[in-house]
Every structure is written in structure tokens, then in C-alpha cells.
């Protein structure tokens, strides 16, 4: 196995999909020029829009969304594996889905993942979120090969549900992707702790590209994109919420070694109660 140079893109997406796609494309190009072979963007790369009516007006079926064509062409041109952390798309059941899309170096879609856990929370001070009112939850966990890496796909609020990552790791994933748009209160309190916990529990790398700052729709996100190693160490991070890029090298052998040292993934036991 060889190491893979990766890059995470931190954004501050707004309400104009064309501008957001242009911003993402420019940063992806820069990351590829700097040697990254796997590049990941944050949740809702092409649109951060809290107004559900405005969101519904913009969402199109997946086969005509310009973002999909643009990013597919970009992956092909740059000869990279490109994970668009998520896009708001119209699903098969006539409801929106929050979907990660992985493009291979030939521009073909390697895998998609629809966010399973919906962000339905009330943080106080009038900050309320009901993601399930807009999005259809996903039902399928996804593991996909990217060169020497096996990725387990997830999105943002999924990170609070450890069982998902255990299932992904037991299915062979050595790298967990967590593209996010964390709120500032929860990001300040929980972001790093949750990411490191998922890495430690599963002996996996965790890649977490994030949205950051105050968005056009009024939402404020935490930023602070991170790469966590399989021993729970912070390998790289942005200490701010401004747009930017984060680089690291991923060595799958180190994840395998961490699992040899602490074989928690094979230590399940049946128990009774409560």
C-alpha cells in the first residue's frame, strides 16, 4: 500500500449555486495543482439556503443539475478522485435528499450516499433545525474503494451515531468522510471531540471538510476542517472558519496497524439487558 495525498476544501457557500460551484472548482483546481489525488468538499457545497421554498425552487433532478456535470468534468480533467461532500438533489421519491457524490478520475460517479440521520434539533435562542421536514433520510450505508483506500461515507450529523462508523469499519472502511456544515454552538463544543472519538473507536482516518462563517442566508457554521489519524491524533486542521484548504497524507497501513494494536472491531460480545 502507498500513501495518498489528499486535500479538504473549506467553503462559505451562499445562496447562488453558480457562484458556489465556481468557488469550489477554483479551490479543487488549486488542490490538484498542489498534488492532491483525493479531494473532498463540505456538506451542501453548491447551496446553503435555509428558506425551504427557495431551496425547492432551485433543486433539480440529479441528471440535469449543472453541478454534477461540472464536477464530473473537473474530476476527469484533473485525473482525481473527487468527493463532493453533499448536494441538495431531488430524490427518487419526490423529496429532496442530502447526497454525497464521489467522482472517479474518469469523471464517472463511483458512489453516492444519502445522509441517514436528520438534523432535527433545537439549540435555544431561536436556533431550530428540522432537516427531516425538507429531506428524505437515506437508508443505505456505503463503503467504496478509492485506489488503496476504502472510504466509509457519512455526512455531518451522522457523526453523532457511532454505530454507523462501526458498521463501516467492520465492512472494511479505513477512512471515514464527514463533510459538514456544523453550527457554531455545537461545533465549538463537540466538533473535534466527536471526530476524534469516531477515529479512535474504529481505528480509522477521519476526513472532515466543513462549511464556515456567516452565510448569506444568515446561518453561521463552525469551519475548522480537520484530518484525524487512526490513533485519534489531529494530523491537520484549520483553526478558523474562513474558506481555505487542508492537506495531508493518508497511509492505510497505519489504520491497519491501529486496529492490530486495539482489535476493538472484532471484540463484540452478546449481552443481556437492560
Annotated active-site residue 254? The verdict is: no
Annotated active-site residue 110? The verdict is: no
Q: Which of 131, 139, 150, 156 is catalytic?
A: 156
Q: Which of 30, 77, 110, 115 is catalytic?
A: 115
Q: Which of 43, 110, 150, 254 is catalytic?
A: 43
Q: What are the average pLDDT values for consecutive 10-residue runs of the chain, which has 274 residues?
A: 94 95 98 98 94 82 78 98 95 88 98 94 77 92 96 98 98 98 96 98 98 96 98 98 98 97 95 94
Which among 108, 41, 100 has a CA at the least distance from the CA of 69?
A: 108
This prediction has a pTM of 0.96
What are the residue boundaries of the structural domains of the chain, listed by start?
4-263
Which among 48, 47, 42, 46 has a CA at the least distance from the CA of 10?
A: 42
Annotated active-site residue 216? The verdict is: no
The predicted pLDDT at position 62 comes to: 65
Q: How far apart are CA 87 and CA 77, in angstroms?
A: 21
The predicted pLDDT at position 130 comes to: 81
Helical H segments across the chain, by residue range = 17-33, 52-58, 66-78, 162-170, 184-202, 252-261
CATH class of 4-263: alpha beta
Amino acid at each position: 500500500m502507498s500513501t495518498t495525498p489528499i486535500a479538504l476544501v473549506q467553503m462559505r457557500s451562499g445562496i447562488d449555486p453558480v457562484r458556489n460551484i465556481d468557488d469550489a472548482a477554483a479551490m479543487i483546481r488549486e488542490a490538484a495543482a498542489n498534488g492532491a489525488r483525493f479531494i473532498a468538499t463540505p456538506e451542501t457545497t453548491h447551496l446553503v439556503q435555509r428558506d425551504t421554498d427557495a431551496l425547492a425552487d432551485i433543486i433539480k433532478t440529479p441528471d440535469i443539475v449543472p453541478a454534477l456535470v461540472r464536477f464530473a468534468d473537473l474530476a476527469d480533467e484533473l485525473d482525481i478522485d473527487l468527493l463532493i461532500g453533499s448536494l441538495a438533489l431531488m430524490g427518487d421519491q419526490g423529496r429532496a435528499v442530502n447526497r454525497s457524490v464521489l467522482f472517479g478520475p474518469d469523471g464517472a460517479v463511483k458512489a453516492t450516499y444519502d445522509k441517514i440521520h436528520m438534523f432535527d434539533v433545537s439549540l435555544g435562542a431561536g436556533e431550530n433545525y428540522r432537516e427531516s421536514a425538507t429531506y428524505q433520510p437515506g437508508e443505505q450505508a456505503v463503503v467504496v474503494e478509492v485506489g488503496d483506500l476504502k472510504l466509509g461515507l457519512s455526512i455531518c450529523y451522522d457523526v453523532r451515531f457511532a454505530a454507523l462508523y462501526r458498521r463501516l469499519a467492520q465492512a472494511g472502511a479505513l477512512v471515514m468522510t464527514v463533510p459538514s456544515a456544523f453550527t457554531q454552538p455545537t461545533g465549538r463544543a463537540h466538533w473535534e471531540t466527536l471526530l476524534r472519538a469516531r477515529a479512535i473507536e474504529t481505528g480509522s482516518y477521519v476526513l472532515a471538510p466543513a462549511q464556515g462563517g456567516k452565510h448569506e442566508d444568515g446561518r453561521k457554521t463552525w469551519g475548522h476542517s480537520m484530518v484525524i489519524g487512526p490513533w485519534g491524533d489531529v494530523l491537520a486542521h484549520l483553526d478558523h472558519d474562513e474558506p481555505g484548504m487542508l492537506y495531508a497524507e493518508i497511509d492505510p497501513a497505519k489504520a491497519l496497524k491501529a486496529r492490530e494494536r486495539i482489535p476493538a472491531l472484532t471484540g463484540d460480545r452478546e449481552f443481556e439487558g437492560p
